[in-house]
Amino acid sequence: MKEKVSAIIDILKNRYADAPCALHYSKDYELMIAVRLSAQCTDARVNLVTPGLFAAYPTLEAMANAEISDVEHHVHSCGFYKHKARDIVLACQMLLSDYNGKVPGTMSELLRLPGVGRKTANLLLGDLYGTPGSVVCDTHCIRICGRLGLSQGKDPEKVETQLRAILPPEESSDFCHRIVLFGRDCCTARNPKCAECPLTMFCREFSA
């Protein structure tokens, strides 16, 4: 398994030299907001919505003091807008009241924030703090790692635990970003482009 994981990591690195987060942000709390908006919504849609939202509320204080109904208007097209708007405002208020205006750097602290689950927390830890072992289990990660035999099942927390046990901690965050890129342009859910896939030798579902 160690050799297999190393080979997969190297292939993905070769295909995607850079491994940026797909969500656009310039401040730590903006990434927290963008990830919350991305739940059951595409990153592309979120990146269309956040410029207007961040322009309307250019500081953490402004976002924390915003009327939830006004935030709903800005994020409406992201879906589940009432829940997302409420979580965004309340989370920003907690950043000010409990964390000195900074997104905290531990899993336990992050999970206290409204709307922040393990997927969001791991992404924030990996991208903001470079925390080793940060594994972001989104739908791409679960699907592709299952196909490659790196994990079993579809429960995000169980898959996270399985991947954490086999991925080099220093590679885990970038690995997850690369898996997202790979899931978008090659190993798609419905019509994977197996003919151009560089990982077919590891794939459980590939048939020549």
Please say if 84 is a catalytic residue: no
Q: What is the rounded average pLDDT for all residues in the chain?
A: 95
User: Which pLDDT value is given to residue 205?
Assistant: 84
Catalytic residue among 4, 13, 138, 158: 138
pTM: 0.92
CB 34 within 8 Å of CB 46: yes
Mean per-residue pLDDT for 182-198?
A: 93
Q: For the chain, what is the radius of gyration of the CA atoms?
A: 18
CA distances (Å), origin 130, targets 29, 72, 105? 16, 32, 10
User: Which pLDDT value is given to residue 53?
Assistant: 98
Please say if 174 is a catalytic residue: no
Helix axes 43-56, 28-37, angle to 10 degrees: 130
pLDDT tens readout for residues 112-170: 999 999 999 999 999 999 999 999 999 999 999 999 999 999 999 999 999 999 999 99
Domains by residue range for the chain, with CATH:
2-19+133-202 (1.10.1670.10), 28-129 (1.10.340.30)
Catalytic residue among 28, 119, 127, 174: 119
> In percent, how much of the chain has pLDDT > 90?
94
